[in-house]
Amino acid sequence: MGDTAEGEVADAMESTKIENGVTGGDESNNTETDKTAQGDVEVGDDDDFVDPWTVKSSSARGIDKDKLIDRFGSSKIDQKLVTHLETATGQKCHRFLRRGIFFSHREFDHILTRHEKKQPFYLYTGRGPSSESMHVGHLIPFIMTKWLQELFGVPLVIQLTDDEKSLWKGLSRKEAMKLARENTKDIIACGFDVEKTFIFSDFAYMGLTPEFYGNVIDIQRCVTYNQVKGIFGFTDSDCIGKIAFPAVQAAPAIASSFPDTFGENKTIPCLIPCAIDQDPYFRMTRDVAPRVGFPKPTLLHSTFFPALQGAQCKMSASDERSSIFLTDTPKQIKTKINKYAFSGGQATIEDHRQLGGNCEVDIAYQYLTFFLEDDEELEKIRQDYTSGALLTGELKAKLITILQEMVSQHQKRRAEVTEDVIDEFMRPRKLKADFN
Protein backbone atom coordinates (compact mmCIF):
# COMPACT_ATOMS: atom_id res chain seq x y z
CA MET A 1 0.00 0.00 0.00
CA GLY A 2 0.97 3.66 -0.36
CA ASP A 3 1.29 4.28 3.38
CA THR A 4 4.59 4.28 5.13
CA ALA A 5 4.57 1.28 7.44
CA GLU A 6 4.52 2.29 11.12
CA GLY A 7 8.05 1.01 11.67
CA GLU A 8 9.30 3.08 8.75
CA VAL A 9 7.69 6.38 9.73
CA ALA A 10 10.67 7.65 11.68
CA ASP A 11 12.88 7.08 8.65
CA ALA A 12 10.44 8.96 6.45
CA MET A 13 10.33 11.82 8.93
CA GLU A 14 14.11 11.98 9.10
CA SER A 15 14.25 11.96 5.30
CA THR A 16 11.86 14.91 5.30
CA LYS A 17 14.19 16.84 7.59
CA ILE A 18 17.14 16.20 5.31
CA GLU A 19 15.31 17.05 2.09
CA ASN A 20 13.52 20.14 3.39
CA GLY A 21 15.99 21.44 5.95
CA VAL A 22 13.59 21.02 8.87
CA THR A 23 15.57 20.74 12.07
CA GLY A 24 14.73 19.65 15.56
CA GLY A 25 12.66 16.71 16.70
CA ASP A 26 13.16 13.45 18.45
CA GLU A 27 14.60 10.65 16.34
CA SER A 28 12.38 8.21 18.22
CA ASN A 29 9.24 9.95 17.00
CA ASN A 30 7.04 7.61 15.06
CA THR A 31 4.44 9.95 13.59
CA GLU A 32 3.14 9.04 10.12
CA THR A 33 3.98 12.40 8.56
CA ASP A 34 3.78 13.53 4.99
CA LYS A 35 7.04 14.08 3.14
CA THR A 36 6.08 17.63 2.22
CA ALA A 37 6.07 19.16 5.69
CA GLN A 38 7.84 22.41 4.89
CA GLY A 39 8.02 24.37 8.12
CA ASP A 40 9.93 27.57 7.38
CA VAL A 41 11.65 26.12 4.36
CA GLU A 42 11.62 28.13 1.16
CA VAL A 43 10.24 26.29 -1.84
CA GLY A 44 12.09 26.49 -5.13
CA ASP A 45 10.60 27.97 -8.28
CA ASP A 46 10.02 24.51 -9.75
CA ASP A 47 8.31 23.09 -6.66
CA ASP A 48 4.66 22.81 -5.70
CA PHE A 49 3.76 23.93 -2.19
CA VAL A 50 0.91 22.20 -0.42
CA ASP A 51 -0.11 22.40 3.21
CA PRO A 52 -3.54 22.60 4.90
CA TRP A 53 -3.67 26.39 4.39
CA THR A 54 -1.70 27.15 1.21
CA VAL A 55 -1.60 25.63 -2.27
CA LYS A 56 0.75 27.03 -4.89
CA SER A 57 2.21 25.72 -8.12
CA SER A 58 4.76 27.16 -10.50
CA SER A 59 3.00 25.48 -13.43
CA ALA A 60 -0.06 26.75 -15.29
CA ARG A 61 -1.15 23.10 -15.34
CA GLY A 62 -1.48 23.19 -11.57
CA ILE A 63 -0.22 20.78 -8.93
CA ASP A 64 1.59 17.69 -10.22
CA LYS A 65 -0.55 14.86 -8.84
CA ASP A 66 2.04 12.14 -9.36
CA LYS A 67 4.62 14.14 -7.41
CA LEU A 68 2.11 14.66 -4.60
CA ILE A 69 1.43 10.94 -4.40
CA ASP A 70 5.15 10.28 -4.19
CA ARG A 71 5.79 12.98 -1.59
CA PHE A 72 2.78 12.16 0.56
CA GLY A 73 3.34 8.42 0.27
CA SER A 74 -0.24 7.67 -0.74
CA SER A 75 -1.49 5.33 -3.49
CA LYS A 76 -2.79 6.24 -6.93
CA ILE A 77 -6.40 5.46 -7.75
CA ASP A 78 -5.77 3.16 -10.70
CA GLN A 79 -8.01 1.14 -12.98
CA LYS A 80 -7.72 -1.91 -10.73
CA LEU A 81 -9.23 0.02 -7.82
CA VAL A 82 -11.93 1.53 -10.04
CA THR A 83 -12.85 -1.95 -11.28
CA HIS A 84 -12.95 -3.23 -7.68
CA LEU A 85 -15.35 -0.42 -6.75
CA GLU A 86 -17.64 -1.06 -9.69
CA THR A 87 -17.61 -4.82 -9.05
CA ALA A 88 -18.27 -4.41 -5.32
CA THR A 89 -21.16 -1.98 -5.81
CA GLY A 90 -22.53 -2.83 -9.25
CA GLN A 91 -22.42 0.91 -10.06
CA LYS A 92 -20.42 3.00 -12.51
CA CYS A 93 -17.78 5.17 -10.86
CA HIS A 94 -18.45 8.83 -10.26
CA ARG A 95 -16.98 11.18 -12.84
CA PHE A 96 -14.58 12.48 -10.18
CA LEU A 97 -13.02 9.03 -10.02
CA ARG A 98 -13.20 8.35 -13.77
CA ARG A 99 -11.37 11.62 -14.53
CA GLY A 100 -8.75 11.54 -11.80
CA ILE A 101 -10.22 14.43 -9.82
CA PHE A 102 -10.11 12.09 -6.84
CA PHE A 103 -6.74 10.63 -7.68
CA SER A 104 -5.12 9.31 -4.51
CA HIS A 105 -6.13 7.11 -1.60
CA ARG A 106 -5.08 5.38 1.57
CA GLU A 107 -6.39 1.82 1.82
CA PHE A 108 -9.70 2.47 0.08
CA ASP A 109 -9.63 -1.17 -0.99
CA HIS A 110 -10.08 -2.11 2.69
CA ILE A 111 -13.37 -0.22 2.76
CA LEU A 112 -14.51 -1.99 -0.41
CA THR A 113 -13.74 -5.31 1.20
CA ARG A 114 -15.77 -4.34 4.27
CA HIS A 115 -18.66 -3.38 2.00
CA GLU A 116 -18.48 -6.74 0.26
CA LYS A 117 -18.57 -8.48 3.64
CA LYS A 118 -21.46 -6.24 4.79
CA GLN A 119 -19.31 -4.90 7.65
CA PRO A 120 -20.05 -1.40 8.98
CA PHE A 121 -18.12 1.80 8.35
CA TYR A 122 -19.01 5.47 8.21
CA LEU A 123 -18.11 8.59 6.25
CA TYR A 124 -16.44 11.68 7.68
CA THR A 125 -15.74 14.97 5.95
CA GLY A 126 -15.71 18.62 6.98
CA ARG A 127 -15.75 22.31 6.24
CA GLY A 128 -13.83 25.23 7.71
CA PRO A 129 -16.40 28.07 7.78
CA SER A 130 -14.30 31.13 6.92
CA SER A 131 -16.91 33.04 4.90
CA GLU A 132 -20.69 33.37 4.77
CA SER A 133 -20.85 32.20 1.17
CA MET A 134 -19.17 29.06 -0.08
CA HIS A 135 -17.87 28.83 -3.65
CA VAL A 136 -18.26 26.03 -6.18
CA GLY A 137 -14.85 24.60 -5.30
CA HIS A 138 -16.08 23.94 -1.77
CA LEU A 139 -18.75 21.64 -3.21
CA ILE A 140 -16.27 19.07 -4.57
CA PRO A 141 -15.80 16.95 -1.40
CA PHE A 142 -19.51 17.21 -0.62
CA ILE A 143 -20.57 16.09 -4.09
CA MET A 144 -18.30 13.08 -3.75
CA THR A 145 -19.39 12.36 -0.20
CA LYS A 146 -23.06 12.49 -1.14
CA TRP A 147 -22.42 9.98 -3.93
CA LEU A 148 -20.56 7.69 -1.52
CA GLN A 149 -23.36 7.97 1.05
CA GLU A 150 -25.93 6.93 -1.54
CA LEU A 151 -23.66 4.22 -2.94
CA PHE A 152 -22.88 2.54 0.38
CA GLY A 153 -25.88 3.61 2.49
CA VAL A 154 -23.68 4.45 5.48
CA PRO A 155 -23.81 7.12 8.23
CA LEU A 156 -21.99 10.41 7.66
CA VAL A 157 -20.54 12.93 10.12
CA ILE A 158 -19.61 16.42 8.91
CA GLN A 159 -17.33 18.53 11.09
CA LEU A 160 -17.55 22.32 11.00
CA THR A 161 -14.19 23.56 12.28
CA ASP A 162 -15.37 26.93 13.54
CA ASP A 163 -12.75 26.71 16.29
CA GLU A 164 -9.99 26.41 13.68
CA LYS A 165 -11.23 29.50 11.84
CA SER A 166 -11.35 31.42 15.10
CA LEU A 167 -7.71 30.51 15.71
CA TRP A 168 -6.38 31.07 12.17
CA LYS A 169 -8.62 33.89 10.95
CA GLY A 170 -9.05 35.79 14.20
CA LEU A 171 -12.83 35.41 14.15
CA SER A 172 -14.76 35.73 17.38
CA ARG A 173 -16.47 32.60 18.61
CA LYS A 174 -19.85 34.16 17.88
CA GLU A 175 -18.88 35.06 14.31
CA ALA A 176 -17.28 31.67 13.62
CA MET A 177 -20.36 29.84 14.88
CA LYS A 178 -22.61 32.08 12.78
CA LEU A 179 -20.59 31.27 9.65
CA ALA A 180 -20.75 27.58 10.51
CA ARG A 181 -24.52 27.71 10.59
CA GLU A 182 -24.67 29.60 7.28
CA ASN A 183 -22.34 27.08 5.65
CA THR A 184 -24.54 24.29 7.01
CA LYS A 185 -27.34 25.54 4.76
CA ASP A 186 -25.12 25.09 1.70
CA ILE A 187 -24.04 21.64 2.87
CA ILE A 188 -27.63 20.51 3.43
CA ALA A 189 -28.55 21.90 -0.01
CA CYS A 190 -26.18 19.32 -1.53
CA GLY A 191 -28.89 16.76 -0.82
CA PHE A 192 -27.64 14.67 2.11
CA ASP A 193 -29.98 12.19 3.76
CA VAL A 194 -30.97 13.67 7.13
CA GLU A 195 -31.59 10.19 8.56
CA LYS A 196 -27.97 9.23 7.85
CA THR A 197 -26.17 12.56 8.38
CA PHE A 198 -24.97 14.40 11.50
CA ILE A 199 -23.47 17.89 11.07
CA PHE A 200 -21.72 19.40 14.09
CA SER A 201 -19.90 22.56 15.11
CA ASP A 202 -16.73 22.00 17.15
CA PHE A 203 -17.59 24.88 19.47
CA ALA A 204 -21.03 23.44 20.18
CA TYR A 205 -20.33 19.71 20.16
CA MET A 206 -17.09 19.41 22.10
CA GLY A 207 -18.62 20.91 25.21
CA LEU A 208 -21.70 18.76 24.80
CA THR A 209 -19.97 15.40 24.45
CA PRO A 210 -17.32 14.24 26.95
CA GLU A 211 -16.47 11.27 24.71
CA PHE A 212 -15.39 13.56 21.87
CA TYR A 213 -13.18 15.67 24.11
CA GLY A 214 -11.81 12.55 25.75
CA ASN A 215 -10.69 11.22 22.37
CA VAL A 216 -9.09 14.60 21.60
CA ILE A 217 -7.04 14.29 24.79
CA ASP A 218 -6.06 10.69 23.99
CA ILE A 219 -4.77 11.82 20.59
CA GLN A 220 -2.97 14.85 21.99
CA ARG A 221 -1.20 12.62 24.49
CA CYS A 222 0.31 10.62 21.60
CA VAL A 223 1.75 13.52 19.57
CA THR A 224 4.72 15.61 20.69
CA TYR A 225 5.37 19.26 19.98
CA ASN A 226 8.34 18.33 17.77
CA GLN A 227 6.15 15.99 15.76
CA VAL A 228 3.38 18.51 15.20
CA LYS A 229 5.96 21.12 14.16
CA GLY A 230 7.39 18.68 11.64
CA ILE A 231 3.98 17.79 10.22
CA PHE A 232 2.37 21.22 10.03
CA GLY A 233 5.29 23.65 10.05
CA PHE A 234 4.21 25.42 13.24
CA THR A 235 6.70 27.86 14.72
CA ASP A 236 7.49 29.00 18.24
CA SER A 237 5.37 32.09 17.55
CA ASP A 238 2.16 30.13 16.88
CA CYS A 239 -0.40 30.08 19.67
CA ILE A 240 -0.88 26.83 21.54
CA GLY A 241 -4.43 26.58 20.20
CA LYS A 242 -3.09 25.96 16.70
CA ILE A 243 -0.67 23.35 17.98
CA ALA A 244 -3.44 21.50 19.80
CA PHE A 245 -6.03 21.75 17.03
CA PRO A 246 -4.96 18.79 14.80
CA ALA A 247 -6.25 16.40 17.46
CA VAL A 248 -9.68 18.03 17.17
CA GLN A 249 -9.78 17.31 13.44
CA ALA A 250 -8.60 13.77 14.12
CA ALA A 251 -11.22 12.93 16.76
CA PRO A 252 -14.17 12.44 14.35
CA ALA A 253 -12.22 9.50 12.87
CA ILE A 254 -13.02 7.63 16.12
CA ALA A 255 -16.54 6.21 16.16
CA SER A 256 -16.86 6.60 19.93
CA SER A 257 -16.63 10.39 19.50
CA PHE A 258 -20.31 10.07 18.54
CA PRO A 259 -21.90 8.10 21.41
CA ASP A 260 -25.44 8.87 20.28
CA THR A 261 -24.66 7.23 16.94
CA PHE A 262 -22.11 4.51 17.67
CA GLY A 263 -22.18 4.15 21.45
CA GLU A 264 -18.77 3.27 22.93
CA ASN A 265 -17.70 1.35 19.83
CA LYS A 266 -14.23 2.42 18.68
CA THR A 267 -13.83 -0.35 16.13
CA ILE A 268 -15.95 1.00 13.27
CA PRO A 269 -13.60 2.54 10.69
CA CYS A 270 -14.29 5.66 8.66
CA LEU A 271 -13.73 6.78 5.07
CA ILE A 272 -12.68 10.41 4.63
CA PRO A 273 -13.14 12.13 1.25
CA CYS A 274 -11.10 15.35 1.28
CA ALA A 275 -8.72 17.51 -0.70
CA ILE A 276 -5.16 16.24 -0.43
CA ASP A 277 -4.03 19.37 1.42
CA GLN A 278 -5.88 17.96 4.46
CA ASP A 279 -3.88 14.71 4.37
CA PRO A 280 -1.29 15.78 7.01
CA TYR A 281 -4.03 15.75 9.65
CA PHE A 282 -4.96 12.20 8.82
CA ARG A 283 -1.45 10.82 8.42
CA MET A 284 -1.02 11.92 12.01
CA THR A 285 -4.35 10.29 12.85
CA ARG A 286 -3.41 7.01 11.15
CA ASP A 287 -0.21 6.85 13.18
CA VAL A 288 -1.99 7.51 16.47
CA ALA A 289 -4.90 5.15 15.77
CA PRO A 290 -3.36 1.84 16.91
CA ARG A 291 -2.08 3.44 20.11
CA VAL A 292 -5.51 4.61 21.23
CA GLY A 293 -7.38 1.53 20.06
CA PHE A 294 -9.24 2.53 16.91
CA PRO A 295 -8.73 1.54 13.26
CA LYS A 296 -6.81 3.74 10.84
CA PRO A 297 -9.10 5.99 8.79
CA THR A 298 -9.23 5.39 5.05
CA LEU A 299 -8.91 8.36 2.71
CA LEU A 300 -9.86 9.48 -0.78
CA HIS A 301 -7.93 12.56 -1.94
CA SER A 302 -9.12 15.08 -4.48
CA THR A 303 -7.04 17.49 -6.49
CA PHE A 304 -7.61 21.22 -6.09
CA PHE A 305 -10.32 23.25 -7.74
CA PRO A 306 -8.38 25.99 -9.56
CA ALA A 307 -8.90 29.72 -9.29
CA LEU A 308 -10.41 31.52 -12.25
CA GLN A 309 -7.07 33.20 -12.91
CA GLY A 310 -5.30 29.86 -13.35
CA ALA A 311 -4.39 26.54 -11.75
CA GLN A 312 -1.33 27.81 -9.88
CA CYS A 313 -3.49 28.11 -6.77
CA LYS A 314 -6.90 27.06 -5.52
CA MET A 315 -9.93 29.33 -5.22
CA SER A 316 -10.04 31.82 -2.36
CA ALA A 317 -13.18 32.80 -0.50
CA SER A 318 -11.55 36.17 0.21
CA ASP A 319 -11.10 37.10 -3.48
CA GLU A 320 -14.39 37.30 -5.35
CA ARG A 321 -12.53 37.49 -8.69
CA SER A 322 -11.01 34.06 -8.11
CA SER A 323 -14.24 32.24 -7.42
CA ILE A 324 -17.77 31.47 -8.50
CA PHE A 325 -19.75 31.83 -5.30
CA LEU A 326 -22.93 29.95 -4.54
CA THR A 327 -24.65 33.31 -4.08
CA ASP A 328 -23.65 34.66 -7.52
CA THR A 329 -26.37 35.67 -9.96
CA PRO A 330 -26.44 34.33 -13.53
CA LYS A 331 -25.10 37.70 -14.70
CA GLN A 332 -22.24 37.62 -12.19
CA ILE A 333 -21.31 34.08 -13.26
CA LYS A 334 -21.25 35.10 -16.91
CA THR A 335 -19.17 38.19 -16.21
CA LYS A 336 -16.64 36.35 -14.06
CA ILE A 337 -16.11 33.53 -16.54
CA ASN A 338 -15.78 35.86 -19.51
CA LYS A 339 -13.59 38.39 -17.73
CA TYR A 340 -11.39 36.34 -15.39
CA ALA A 341 -11.26 32.71 -16.52
CA PHE A 342 -7.73 32.02 -17.78
CA SER A 343 -7.77 30.95 -21.42
CA GLY A 344 -5.72 28.34 -23.18
CA GLY A 345 -6.69 29.82 -26.54
CA GLN A 346 -4.62 31.80 -28.98
CA ALA A 347 -4.37 35.60 -29.26
CA THR A 348 -6.46 35.83 -32.44
CA ILE A 349 -9.24 33.81 -34.01
CA GLU A 350 -7.01 33.08 -36.99
CA ASP A 351 -4.21 31.73 -34.80
CA HIS A 352 -6.68 29.71 -32.76
CA ARG A 353 -8.22 28.11 -35.85
CA GLN A 354 -4.74 27.17 -37.02
CA LEU A 355 -3.01 26.24 -33.74
CA GLY A 356 -5.88 25.27 -31.45
CA GLY A 357 -6.21 25.73 -27.70
CA ASN A 358 -4.49 24.16 -24.71
CA CYS A 359 -6.99 22.31 -22.52
CA GLU A 360 -4.35 21.59 -19.88
CA VAL A 361 -4.27 25.24 -18.82
CA ASP A 362 -7.70 26.48 -19.95
CA ILE A 363 -9.85 27.11 -16.87
CA ALA A 364 -13.20 26.83 -18.66
CA TYR A 365 -12.26 23.36 -19.86
CA GLN A 366 -10.88 22.40 -16.44
CA TYR A 367 -14.16 23.42 -14.79
CA LEU A 368 -16.09 21.31 -17.29
CA THR A 369 -14.09 18.26 -16.21
CA PHE A 370 -15.58 18.78 -12.74
CA PHE A 371 -19.19 19.52 -13.66
CA LEU A 372 -20.03 18.11 -17.09
CA GLU A 373 -21.34 14.58 -16.58
CA ASP A 374 -21.21 13.23 -20.15
CA ASP A 375 -17.77 11.73 -20.92
CA GLU A 376 -18.33 11.66 -24.66
CA GLU A 377 -19.41 15.29 -24.77
CA LEU A 378 -16.38 16.32 -22.71
CA GLU A 379 -14.05 14.45 -25.05
CA LYS A 380 -15.68 16.08 -28.09
CA ILE A 381 -15.15 19.50 -26.50
CA ARG A 382 -11.50 18.63 -25.83
CA GLN A 383 -10.91 17.54 -29.40
CA ASP A 384 -12.67 20.56 -30.90
CA TYR A 385 -10.88 23.06 -28.69
CA THR A 386 -7.49 21.43 -29.25
CA SER A 387 -8.01 21.44 -33.02
CA GLY A 388 -9.24 25.03 -33.10
CA ALA A 389 -12.75 24.15 -34.24
CA LEU A 390 -14.13 25.43 -30.92
CA LEU A 391 -13.29 29.01 -29.94
CA THR A 392 -12.57 30.23 -26.40
CA GLY A 393 -15.79 32.25 -26.29
CA GLU A 394 -17.81 29.20 -27.32
CA LEU A 395 -16.08 27.07 -24.69
CA LYS A 396 -16.78 29.63 -21.99
CA ALA A 397 -20.41 29.85 -23.08
CA LYS A 398 -20.84 26.09 -22.48
CA LEU A 399 -19.40 26.43 -19.00
CA ILE A 400 -21.51 29.49 -18.19
CA THR A 401 -24.71 27.62 -19.02
CA ILE A 402 -23.77 24.68 -16.80
CA LEU A 403 -22.68 26.82 -13.85
CA GLN A 404 -25.70 29.10 -14.05
CA GLU A 405 -28.03 26.11 -13.88
CA MET A 406 -26.06 24.37 -11.14
CA VAL A 407 -25.81 27.44 -8.91
CA SER A 408 -29.44 28.39 -9.53
CA GLN A 409 -30.66 24.94 -8.48
CA HIS A 410 -28.41 25.03 -5.42
CA GLN A 411 -29.84 28.41 -4.39
CA LYS A 412 -33.39 27.06 -4.67
CA ARG A 413 -32.56 24.08 -2.45
CA ARG A 414 -30.75 26.32 0.04
CA ALA A 415 -33.76 28.62 0.30
CA GLU A 416 -35.79 25.63 1.49
CA VAL A 417 -33.42 24.94 4.40
CA THR A 418 -35.19 26.26 7.50
CA GLU A 419 -33.78 26.68 10.99
CA ASP A 420 -35.70 23.57 12.03
CA VAL A 421 -34.04 21.58 9.25
CA ILE A 422 -30.61 22.76 10.40
CA ASP A 423 -31.43 21.85 13.99
CA GLU A 424 -32.41 18.33 12.95
CA PHE A 425 -29.18 17.75 11.02
CA MET A 426 -27.20 19.04 14.01
CA ARG A 427 -29.05 17.02 16.65
CA PRO A 428 -26.92 14.18 18.09
CA ARG A 429 -28.86 10.98 17.43
CA LYS A 430 -28.77 7.45 16.09
CA LEU A 431 -28.20 7.45 12.34
CA LYS A 432 -29.66 4.93 9.94
CA ALA A 433 -27.45 2.67 7.87
CA ASP A 434 -28.16 0.01 5.30
CA PHE A 435 -26.05 -2.47 7.29
CA ASN A 436 -28.17 -2.00 10.47
- Going by pLDDT thresholds of 50, 70 and 90, the confidence category of residue 312 is low
Using the predicted structure, report yes or no on whether residue 327 has a pLDDT greater than 90. Answer: yes
Whether the CB-CB separation of 68 and 276 falls below 8 Å is answered with yes
Asked if residue 273 lies in contact with residue 140, where contact means CB atoms within 8 angstroms, the answer is no
- pLDDT-derived band at 71 (thresholds 50, 70, 90) equals confident
Q: How far is CA 403 from CA 100, 331, 412, 435, in A?
A: 21, 11, 14, 36
Q: What is the pLDDT of residue 283?
A: 93
Task: Please tell me the predicted confidence (pLDDT) of residue 321.
Answer: 76
Reply yes or no on whether the pLDDT at 66 is more than 70.
yes
Which of the two residues, 67 and 381, has the higher pLDDT score? 381
Alpha helices in 278-356 (DSSP H): 279-292, 330-340, 349-355
Which of 71-80, 153-162, 190-199 is least confident?
71-80
Q: Which amino acid is at 85?
A: L
The pLDDT, as a whole number, for residue 63 is 67
Taking Cα atoms as reference points, which of 145, 166, 168, 143 lies closest to residue 155? 145
| Pick from 69, 121, 77: nearest CA to 99 | 77
Does residue 223 surpass a pLDDT of 70?
yes
Judge whether 161 and 249 are in contact, CB under 8 Å. Answer: yes
Predicted confidence at residue 70, as pLDDT, reads: 84
In whole angstroms, give the CA distance from residue 258 to residue 162.
18
- Say which residue, 200 or 209, is predicted with more confidence: 200
**CB 82: neighbour CB atoms within 10 A?**
14
Of 49-53, 269-273, 301-305, 413-417, give the lowest mean pLDDT range: 49-53
Interaxial angle between packed helices 225-232 and 9-20, expressed in degrees from 0 to 180 and rounded to the nearest 10: 60
**Average pLDDT of the chain?**
86
Percentage of residues in the chain having pLDDT higher than 70: 83
Q: Read off the pLDDT of residues 239-294 as tens digits, 9 standing for 90 and up.
A: 999 999 999 999 999 999 999 999 999 999 999 999 988 999 999 999 999 999 99
pLDDT the model gives residue 14: 31
Q: In what order do the strands lie in the sheet with 156-160?
A: 75-76, 102-106, 298-302, 270-275, 122-127, 156-160, 197-201
The tens digit of pLDDT for each residue in 76-132 reads 999 999 999 999 999 999 999 999 999 999 999 999 999 999 999 999 999 999 888
Q: What is the pLDDT of residue 179?
A: 96
Please calculate the CA angle 291-236-219 and round it to the nearest 5 degrees: 15
Q: What is residue 207's predicted lDDT score, i.e. its pLDDT?
A: 84
pLDDT-derived band at 304, boundaries 50, 70, 90: confident
Q: According to the model, what pLDDT value does residue 39 have?
A: 34
- Categorize the per-residue pLDDT at 60 as very low, low, confident or very high, splitting at 50, 70 and 90: low
Domains, the chain, ordered by start: 6-22+32-307 (3.40.50.620), 315-415 (1.10.240.10)
Q: Distance (Å, rounded) from C-alpha 111 to C-alpha 85? A: 10
